[in-house]
Structure 1
Amino acid sequence: MLKKNGKFMLLALMILTLVVGCSSSPKTEVKDAGNATPAPEATNAPTASGDTQKIVYVLNNEADKLDPGLTAETFATPIISNVFEGLVQMNDKYEPLPGVAKEWKVSPDGLVYTFTLRDDAKWSDGSKLTAKDFFYSWKRVMTAETASDYSFMMYPYIKNGEKFFKGEVKEDELGIKVINDTTLEVTLEAPSPYIMQLFAFSCYMPVQQAAVEKDKDAWHRKAETFISNGPFKVKELKFGESYTLVKNENYWGKDNVRLEEVKFSIVPEMATGLTAMESKKVDGINGVPTAEIARLKAGDDRFIVLPALGTTYYLLNNKVKPLDDEKVRKALALAINRKEIVENVTQGGQQPAFALIPNGMTLEGKDFREAGGSYGLTETGDVEAAKKLLAEAGYPDGKGFPKLSLKYYSGDIPKKVTEALQQMWKKNLNIDLELKSSEWKVYYKEIQDYDYGIASMGWGGDYAHPMTFLDVFNSKSPNNMTNWGSSDYDQQVDSAKKELDPAKQLEAMHKAEDILMNEMRILPVYHSTNVMMMAEYVKGWNRNILGNIYFKDAYVEGRGK
């Protein structure tokens, strides 16, 4: 239960249902039967006298890269979502709305999308934004040398994209054609039910060629070269301290943008952020210390729990002994009491996770998770079965089990969940693991280099479809950091992307998850929520189930009352 506007509201996570189309026509519908509202809606009410249209919002982590074409870091999205814009945007029902493109048409076979760009589309420096900018930006993502973390979210969908990525065809053979300055024609390899959601995603957003090529590695780390096209632009970047955005006077929809400034303050300790919130030094915080959730839930109208489409899991380094043994991996999974973790550790309405893909996405009339099952996992675990498997693997009562590293990145929740897992595995399996932590930038590099035994990680959906999770563990994905790959898994994922029959597409996706989970290549722990606080005088903001927070329609009204 959570309290907002003086009324208790039921957490909407379990009730939120995404009906995901599997035909060639993109169709996604969100149904929310709960009473929770994500945020106050914008109105045309005049701004109260004396209200300053500036806010400060606290983030607890910062990304290493703020380049929308390169980064897959969740911590970059608050900035990218507010300073860039793609061809389209998504509404609350995940239906496409005009963005840089004012209109579009789709061929009857679902293969060719023709976008008409706005005549007044501009970059934040005032220069004209054209279809050529999208061609450059997308080609850049699909160029192997660019090393984009999200190239795999583009090249399989664009005609000849994968061949271009491999260097087998030239750029003029890509399914991206600039008809004129305001017309972009995109041809797909096969119809996709979620392609419009991809067109709205960050790696499909344009970047300015002149800005990028002045300093390819660091253009996004300096305010003077950070040229964007969204409702806000970067005024100041102080890494480790704050990012300051201001209203973009060259944005096509500038007349509807009411905030003059959004300052993202970097405060690693959630407790420090909460203190600033309660002393009214900031207007919102992106996370709340777990120890304070019960108190805030009971008596603070600014405390909010929102549904999220995400899963927290622990990576297993599948080539490190004894984690290369399926029995060991399953023993670790069975020895986890997930109910205890979500009720006593995270306490933010999270749900125990028994697989990669969360509940809430309905395909062909069935919830994907419910149809897929739980792979032998339960809320409280099965300690006896775990002990038996560990003994069969050659480690009876944990004897001889090596002291592997158990890593997490700096933060309240990762720390507490990792400590809880360490204690469970010691109590239930009598194995000792060495806790190690580091701040995100260092941690992420360690994980990418497979410098870990077991490590905290997770994935939040980039779009509302199971494929956003399955794609992560494709052996070609740079986000697959398990030190494992499977040609059978890849085949099922690739088949699902190209399959036109909805039932066969669904079958291929289930087969892919079966391979991952039956072999227990990761350890799912819980499905996420977004726990945050926002001052009630900040209105019109929106945070969707993908975790992205938007301030384009936000404004301040009633500050100080």
Structure 2
Amino acid sequence: MNMRKGWKLLSTAALVTVLAITGCSQSATPTQPAGGGTAGQASTDTGGQANAAAKLKLNLKTEPPSLDPPKGFDSTSNEVLNATMEGLVRLDKDHKPQAAMAEKWAVSEDGKTYTFTLRDSKWSNGEPVTAQDFEFAFKRIVDPNNAFPSAFLAYYINGAEAFNKGTGNADGVQVKAVDEKTFEVKLKAPTGYFLHILTQPTFFPVNKKVVESNPKWAEGASSIVTNGPFKMEDWVHDQSVKLTKNDGYWDRDSIKYAGIEFVMVNDENTQFQMYKTGQLDMIQTVPNDMKKQLIDSGEAKVETEASIYYYRMNTTIPPFTNANIRKAFALAIDRKTLIDNVVQGKQTPAMAHVPLGFPEPDGADFRTKGGDFFKDNDIEQAKALLKKGMEEEGWTTLPPVAMTYNTSDAHKAIAQVLQEMYKKNLGVDVKLENKEWKVFLAEQRARTLQFSRSTIPADYGDPVNYLELFVTDHPGNRVNYSNKEYDALVEKIRNTADEPERFKLMHDAEKIFMDDMPLVPIYFGTKVFMEQPNIKGIIRHPVGTIDYKWVEIGNK
């Protein structure tokens, strides 16, 4: 359905015309409080007119793949999870981890043992949240029988990786409920950003009794049990999710409105019209053909985000079995033209993997210090690399290439431009295909897609998060990339406590990765959104899931 029939995306002809014409992020590293603290609240100003009975109206776009915390591990699922559940710590308005389900914590002198003291708080079914729930949840993340895509995030915990890879067992995972309110975690090595990792929904607790008694506990409103600011009231699959304030939540007095009503509308023109008519209070994307106008007028806002938009090249599917051909596809793109004329969100062209927003020990930005690994729109070099790669493989004709994206007007527009650029700059015909989000994600995770798009926001505030995704057989890899030297270097990084040395090693690892080029970096991201004037307190973290906890809704 298109409620504005006059609005259309750039046509292929227009894209060809565009091509013919042309031929700094905020710090994402947390400050670790010495002994915990209180949860920071968002700065809001609704003139004393906040409506406690109001509901926040939002658009999820699509059905959440899963509301089981370590299973979801995608932006759509995380958005709902962050509203309905809560971990030991939560990011505050300054993007720093602060006390949440944990009232306080202590860190051992060697930096490897964290002891958390839990608050008195209840699950949505009225039962108390206990340290036993956290122990069960953390071990469940890395249980190999679950095959959760986010299990790697727990590898910092001693014994977690061994259990997940089948060389250890659950008893070897060093997390322990000392008593009902005391939870202990032991790490393999000192990890200064560990609290930031714990803000990720993967580490939200689950109710041990509920999960053990019902394998489908997270699949419906009547069975899901949560511990966060809101609880599930209704869930009509592929249509809507309704949340209401959770009176058993420890910080319920900070919740200044009645709940959230999510719809699932995947057409950007339709959602824009819903926003303009007051049916939505906020939208996180705007129609491509209006984006520049809306940003320039101030109606749409732009904020920084530590993320990268890229296309993955499956290294086991020809022609991307050849490194020179992969490099050719990376160099043959005019990113500035793509951003200025299609994406239009003030993004930065990406000629590397790790995005902007990660400070070095000396305060410099990791990306700025690491620089670019190739030139944008380097057509002649791209042609030479393509020719060289085909000669190496003995190919006179390039094997067919299919670019896959999940259904979205914005992704479609980008894919069409890339298709035209590859035709114009390399003489390569690329087929386009789109898939619904849940199907797309499942196939990409199964490593069956040849050339597929991704937006990767940081899971936590450290560059190693991007590097670890591509070690051999990592669940985030998705393109069968494998380099033993790279794997060994990433493992060394994760066990290096000296920060200047660790950052040097991360630059070395990124250089190896970019020389192998298993992806086509396109741009480092921003958040473009529109918000009704009576809505205050939505928090968008440069690294982390959008947070609705501290919203206030003013009277219109």
Q: Give yes or no for TM over 0.5.
A: yes
Aligned partner of 2:204 in structure 1 is 205
The equivalent of 2:219 in structure 1 is 221
Note if contact 1:26-1:192 (Cα within 8 Å) is conserved in structure 2.
no
Distance in 2, Cα, partners of 1:251 & 1:286: 27
**In the alignment, structure 1 residue 498 sits paired with structure 2 residue 498:** no
Residue number in structure 1 paired with 2:5 = none
Quick one: structure 1 residues 278 and 43, their matched pair in 2 at CA, closer, same or farther if it must change by over 3 Å? Answer: closer
Counterpart of 1:394 in 2: which secondary structure? helix
CA distance in 1, matches of 2:138, 2:472: 22
- Number of positions where the alignment pairs a residue of Structure 1 with one of Structure 2: 524
Which residue of 518, 522, 541 corresponds with 1:521? 518
Q: Which residue of 1 aligns with 2:246?
A: 248
1:416 equivalent in structure 2: 413
CA distance in 1, matches of 2:82, 2:318: 41
Structure 2 residue 48 is the aligned partner of structure 1 residue 46: yes
Secondary structure at 1:64's aligned position in 2?
Answer: coil
Distance 2:204 2:389 in 1: 48
C-alpha contact 1:60 1:286 (8 A) present in aligned 2: no
Q: For residues 426 and 536 of structure 2, what CA distance do their matches in structure 1 show? A: 50
Is residue 228–residue 246 contact of structure 2 (8 Å, CA) maintained in 1?
A: yes
Structure 1 residues 18, 262: CA separation in 2 closer, same or farther (over 3 Å shift)? closer
**What SS does the aligned partner of 2:260 have?**
strand
CA contact (8 A) 2:130 2:180 kept: yes
User: Is residue 2:315 matched to residue 1:314?
Assistant: no
- Which whole-Å deviations, capped at 9, do the CAs of 1:372-428 have from their partners, x for residues lacking one? 2211232xx1111111111222379x9612221111110122111111111000000
Does 1:349 pair with 2:351?
no
How big is the shift at 1:547? 5.5
User: Distance between the aligned counterparts of 2:367 and 2:271, measured in 1?
Assistant: 35
Deviates more, 1:56-65 or 1:107-116: 56-65
Q: For the residues of structure 1 that align with 2:157 and 2:492, how far apart are their CA atoms?
A: 15
Moved more, 158-167 or 232-241: 158-167
> In structure 2, what is the equivalent of residue 257 of structure 1?
255
- Give the counterpart of 1:371 among 365, 369, 372: 369
Q: CA deviation at 1:19?
A: 5.4
Work out the CA distance in 1 between the residues paired with 2:168 and 2:326: 42
Mind listing any 5+ residue stretches in structure 2 that lack a counterpart? 1-23, 35-40
Structure 2 match to 1:284: 282
Amino acid at match of 1:115: F
Give the SS at the match of 2:359: strand
Structure 2 length-normalised TM: 0.90
1:393 corresponds to which residue? 389
Where does residue 31 of structure 1 map in the other structure? none
Q: Is the 8 A contact 1:20 1:465 kept in 2?
A: no
Q: After the TM superposition, which residues 23-42 of structure 1 pair with which residues of structure 2 at under 5 Å, given as runs?
A: 41-42=43-44
Q: Which amino acid aligns with 2:492?
A: S
Q: Aligned-pair distance for 1:40?
A: 7.9
SS in 2 for 1:184: strand
The offset of 1:203, in angstroms, is 1.1
> What is the CA deviation profile of residues 114-172 of structure 1, one whole-angstrom value per residue up to 9, with x for unaligned ones?
11111x21111110111000000001001111111111110x21112222223444433
Pairwise CA distance, 1:109: 0.8
User: More displaced, 472-481 or 254-263?
Assistant: 472-481
Tell me by how many angstroms 1:46 deviates.
3.3
In structure 1, C-alpha distance between the alignment counterparts of 2:42 and 2:281, rounded to whole Å: 14
Q: Secondary structure at the match of 2:390?
A: coil
TM-score relative to the length of structure 1: 0.89
Alpha-carbon separation, structure 2, partners of 1:246 and 1:289: 30
Q: Which of 431, 439, 445 is equivalent to 2:436? A: 439
Distance in structure 1 (CA, Å) of the matches to 2:85 and 2:334 = 41
Following superposition, the deviation at residue 65 of structure 1 comes to 1.1
Alpha-carbon offset, residue 534 of structure 1: 1.2
Q: In 2, distance between residues paired with 1:106 and 1:361?
A: 24
Match of 2:109 in 1: 108
Identity within the alignment, %:
31
Q: Contact 2:29/2:462 (CA < 8 Å) preserved in 1?
A: no
Residue matched to 1:512: 509
The aligned counterpart of 2:4 is: none
One-letter identity of the residue aligned with 1:287:
T
Post-superposition offset of 1:479: 1.5
Q: CA deviation at 1:18?
A: 4.1
Query: Which residue is equivalent to 2:448?
Result: 451
Q: In the TM superposition, what is the alpha-carbon distance from 1:276 to its structure 2 partner?
A: 0.6
* Gap change, CA 1:84 and 1:474, over 3 Å in 2: same
One-letter identity of the residue aligned with 2:331 = L
Q: Secondary structure at the match of 1:530?
A: strand
More strand by share: 1
Q: Are 2:131 and 1:131 aligned?
A: yes
Q: Name the SS for the 1:273 alignment partner.
A: helix
* Matched letter for residue 186 of structure 2: T
Partner letter of residue 156 of structure 2?
A: Y
Verify: 1:325 aligned to 2:319, yes or no: no
Deviation at 1:43, TM superposition (A): 4.8
Task: Quote the Cα distance in structure 1 between the aligned partners of 2:262 and 2:29.
Answer: 34
CA distance in 2, matches of 1:499, 1:343: 41
The 2-side partners of 1:419 and 1:44 are apart by 43
Cα distance in 1 for residues equivalent to 2:159 and 2:523: 38
Rounded to whole Å, the distance in 2 between the matches of 1:211 and 1:334 is: 51
2:85 maps to 1:87? no
Q: Deviations over 1:194-217 (max 9, x none)?
A: 10111221111101122223332x
Cα 1:494–1:20 change in 2 (3 A) is farther
* Secondary structure, aligned partner of 2:491: helix
| Matched AA of 2:510 | E
| Aligned equivalents of 1:174, 1:385: Cα separation in 2 | 49
8 Å contact from structure 2 (residues 46, 554) kept in 1: no
Moved more, 443-452 or 549-558: 443-452
Structure 1: which amino acid aligns with 2:406? Y
- Aligned equivalent of 1:164: 163
Equivalent residue of 1:470, what SS? helix
Unpaired segments of 5 or more residues in structure 1?
1-13, 28-38
